[in-house]
Amino acid sequence: MRAIAGRLTLMIAVIVSGLSVAGCTSRPAVDERFVQAFNQPYQLDAGDKLRIIVFGQENLTNSYKVDDGGALAMPLIGSVAARGHTAKQLEGVITSRLAAKYLRDPHVSVEVEEYRPFFVLGEVNSAGQFPYVSDMTGETAVAIAGGFSPRAKKDMILVTRKVDGVVVSQQVPINYPILPGDTVQVQERWF
């Protein structure tokens, strides 16, 4: 009888400890490539609206939108590739193109007037494309998309972003920072 009671106690202890360990799942580590997007200067892409100032040249100073091909069209110099460049790099490209044929010692300033939109999909009340707001987190993105649906998993989101031309997806906590162009997916909870 004592042998049976001892085995039963041992089996219960093993089951309880197994269930305890199963409930202690950790959150996945964030991929280093995913995090490096925060350590790099902002790279321009389709949907960004830029304010380009060519000092002393009012006919060239204007707001320009980066098109789906990653370029913008300016008077005199035509199409200028912007995708993958920083604002500072684009200043250099425009300056050199203007200096090559049109202006003597041009001074150019490029700043982002509006960042490209971000997207929210999944278990939210109003999925879609939305304008980016500075210092945005997953919580802010969900709020802009009308909040969680009743079936939403509310502690984690799946964020997809392009880092150095490579699309990377990562499960992150809801308070994780969101960047322009990110796709935020709110998944369905299990129960």
Q: Where are the chain's structural domains? A: 49-114, 116-186
Q: pLDDT band for position 39 (50/70/90)?
A: confident
pLDDT at 20 over 70: no
Which secondary structure element, helix H or strand E, spans residue 114, and what is its range? strand 108-114
When the candidates are 3.10.560.10, 3.40.50.300, 3.40.50.720, 1.10.10.970, the CATH number that belongs to 116-186 is 3.10.560.10
Give the Cα separation of 165 and 41 in Å (integer): 14
Strand order in the sheet with 183-186: 128-130, 118-122, 183-186, 156-163, 166-173
Q: pLDDT band for position 28 (50/70/90)?
A: low
User: How confident is the model over 81-109, as a mean pLDDT?
Assistant: 96
pLDDT at 61 over 80: yes
- Average pLDDT over the chain reads 87
Smallest Cα–Cα separation from 100: which of 122, 128, 123, 80? 80
Q: Would you say the CATH fold of 116-186 matches that of 49-114?
A: no
pLDDT at 41 over 70: yes
CA 68 to chain centre: 17
For the domain made up of 49-114, the CATH class stated in words is alpha beta
Residue 129 forms beta bridges with which residues? 119
Q: Between these two residues, 18 and 135, which has the higher pLDDT value?
A: 135
Its pTM stands at 0.78
